A = this chain, B = another copy of it.
Amino acid sequence: MPNDYIVKPVYKALQVLLCLGEERREMALSEICHRVGLPKTTTFRYLQTLSACGFVTHDPNTDLYRIGLRIWALGQMAREPLQLRELALPAMRELRNRFNETVNLGVLDGREIVYLDMVESRRSLRMQAQLGGRDPVYTTALGKAMLAFLPEERWVEHLPVRLTPRTAASYGSIGGLRDELRRTRERGYGLDDGENEEGARCIGAPIFNQDGEVIAAVSLSAPEARMSERTFTEAAAAVIQTAAVISQRLGHDH
């Protein structure tokens, strides 16, 4: 809460809402207040308020709360994700079909990337992300692809103070990561070699808007067993190509 203008009741109520969303399931009052660390009475009041606005639904029989319809509907009103998805989908499908591996579309949001859309591999062993789900910027190919093409002085706002490695392969130091980001910029694609998920290899490439700013990225994710050196170089070129096609549809020339 770095801001002086935070209205605490609002902030805390939003935490309650986020808690309900992150868990993806119905929750009891006691569980929620436990999880967000708020007194029972307060949490109760917030839930009443949230549910009065349709942001939360309360089942009177089971006494459980869940995310309300209104949130979903509000989300449908957000322009950018939907527009971008529509534009990107055909190219993403093509990429998936060519390699039969999962293709993801993501954007930066603070220190995380958010999965906007995905086209899944048809194989039974496949990478699978959650629509609207989040992963750290610095452990994912998507994140690194976007970060690398941002001015270096803006890197800090998308990175935590301390890197907490998710897997054995994750970067442990900011210094090492910065070097990797510079290499990423030169290569033109971001790489995740088991840094986010053990045994998964992803290639991500940046998508630019009309003004030449990175606004998103696409990635191809596969189990490393299916990513031999040969398919890898081929895939990297294809991912960059896919990102370029989408950028073009956004009005980015060159």
Residues of A whose CB lies within 8 Å of any CB of B are 1-3, 5-7, 9-11, 13-15, 17-18, 21-22, 24-25, 44-46, 48-50, 52-55, 66-81, 107, 109-110, 114, 130-134
Q: Write out the residue numbers on chain B whose beta carbons fall within 8 Å of the beta carbon of A5.
A: 44-45, 48-49
- Cα A80 to Cα B24 in complex, Å, equals 11
Minimum CB distance partner of A74 in chain B: B21
Once A72-B78, A75-B71, A75-B132 are accepted as A-B contacts, the answer to whether A7 and B54 lie under 8 Å apart by CB is no
Q: Write out the residue numbers on chain B whose beta carbons fall within 8 Å of the beta carbon of A7.
A: 9, 13, 45-46, 49
A-B contact pairs, 11 of them (CB 8 A): A3-B48, A5-B48, A11-B52, A14-B49, A18-B70, A24-B77, A54-B110, A67-B77, A73-B114, A76-B130, A77-B132
- Cα A98 to Cα B113 in complex, Å, equals 42
Q: Decide: B75 and A76 in contact? CB cutoff 8 A.
A: yes
